[in-house]
Amino acid sequence: MLTQHFGNDGALPFWVADMDFRSPDVVIDSLIKRSEHGIFGYEYKKENYFDALVNWYENRHRWLIDLNHIEFCPSVLNGISILINQHSDKGDGIIIQPPVFFEFRLVIRSNNRNIIKNPLNVVDGKYQMNFDDLEEKAANPKTKIMIICNPHNPVGRVWTRGELSRAGEICRQHNVLLISDEIHGDIVYKPHQYTPFSSISDELARISATCLSPAKTFNISGVIDAMTVIANEEYRDRFHEFAHRYHINKTNVFASAAIEAAYSQGGKWLDELLSYLRANIDFLKSYLHDNLPQVRLIEPEGTYLAWLNFEELGLDAKELEKFLAQKAQLALNSGYWFGREGAGYSRMNIACPKSILHEALLRLTNAARKHL
Ligand SMILES: Cc1ncc(COP(=O)(O)O)c(C=O)c1O
């Protein structure tokens, strides 16, 4: 894959959004125990699973999820694709906020819908939503859906209650369904706080669908199961009917074992992880400040993804990509993958041992000194 994407299999990888760290022991032990059981027939999700899920969101995020509002499907993107199909027709418009997770673009295109861009603005080095532009785009009768990424991959914003309410209100006024992708919701650094969109008000919950998954939090993207929370009964019935018709909501015994353990016993592990990630971000920030001030970190409020501004190097998007992969020997996601608004930037996954991050920064500094 490294050769295919970066033309260099010696590049240190910082691109895919999963972590170098082992999952919590409680998850691993639960998977081992489930394997040793030796019988892997049909299974339903058990009460303990639901309790663990609901308690996690209530205790950590002060959001009491009504169990009846949850629909299961194998992955977040799977849920988003179904919602796109159910709430828009071919040729309709779907709003996204670039630079943003590139799969949003792909899932919209593969469903033959149109991408409507509501690009984020950078104000004093901080990304903000452009509400005037959003109002204009949402008012177009062909616009049917908006996808929000909260926290936002790749720029690391944790949207505030005020920002989410304002975007939601615009969608409500124009009959636009708001899909909130909250897969990164657990990875948030104090004092920032993740606000589940659906927890803001019943009114906004009714015009939205929220996609959740423990995949990023516990590094279990390969043990798949995701939840779509839909408060609106009519929308939920539609989703449920589809999931039933295509048999996508079966229980995977390993996903259930991993998720129940993670949500019931993984809190301490997550707190330690957040401290480690925070320290990596601080290290990255001070290292760049002291050694390579031409590269500026857009400090993440959430996610383990660092959004780096390389514009001062004076390279165009392709030259920057080549510089990083060939000269610095680093596999980062080029900013333009997230939309042309990301040109001049790169995304770096910092969920790795500090020593590896340090090695990457040495490589980057050496290459930049030769270039500058
Ligand atoms: C914002 C966001 N949504 C969805 C996904 C993918 O989720 P899933 O594998 O459950 O489809 C990712 C993975 O990087 C992501 O960053």
Q: Which atom of ligand 1 is nearest to the CA of 17?
A: 14
Q: Is 188 helix (H, G, I), strand (E, B) or coil?
A: strand
CB of 17 within 6 A of ligand 1: the answer is: yes
List the beta bridge partners of residue 180. Answer: 148, 210
**What's the confidence (pLDDT) of residue 14?**
92
Q: Which atom of ligand 1 is nearest to the CA of 104?
A: 3
Q: Which atom of ligand 1 is nearest to the CA of 305?
A: 16
**What's the confidence (pLDDT) of residue 251?**
92
Listed residue (307, 308, 303) closest to 273, CA to CA: 303
Distance (Å) from CA 183 to ligand 1 centroid: 6
Query: How far from each other are the two terminal CA atoms of the chain, in whole angstroms?
Result: 30
Could you name the CATH architecture of 40-265?
3-Layer(aba) Sandwich (3.40)
Phi and psi at residue 262, to the nearest 5° = -65, -50
**What's the confidence (pLDDT) of residue 4?**
77
Strand 143-149 and strand 177-181: the pairing is parallel
Dihedral sign of CA atoms 61, 67, 68, 72 in order? positive
Distance (Å) from CA 295 to ligand 1 centroid: 27
CB of 85 within 6 A of ligand 1: the answer is: no
CB of 153 within 6 A of ligand 1: the answer is: yes
**What's the confidence (pLDDT) of residue 250?**
87
Distance (Å) from CA 215 to ligand 1 centroid: 8
Q: Which residue has the tokens 């796109």?
A: 84
2-22+268-371 classified as CATH 3.90.1150.10: yes
Distance (Å) from CA 296 to ligand 1 centroid: 26
CB of 181 within 6 A of ligand 1: the answer is: yes
Q: Which atom of ligand 1 is nearest to the CA of 77?
A: 11
Strand 296-298 and strand 305-309: the pairing is antiparallel
**What's the confidence (pLDDT) of residue 224?**
81
**What's the confidence (pLDDT) of residue 5?**
76
pTM strictly above 0.85: yes
Out of 101, 104, 180, 252, give the residue to mutate to test ligand 1, the one with the largest number of ligand atoms within 8 Å of its CB. 101
Q: Are 33 and 257 in contact (CB under 8 A)?
A: yes
Q: Are 328 and 368 in contact (CB under 8 A)?
A: yes
Low-confidence spans in the chain with pLDDT less than 70: none
Q: Provide the residue ranges of all domains of the chain, joining segments of one domain with +.
A: 2-22+268-371, 40-265
Q: Which atom of ligand 1 is nearest to the CA of 303?
A: 16
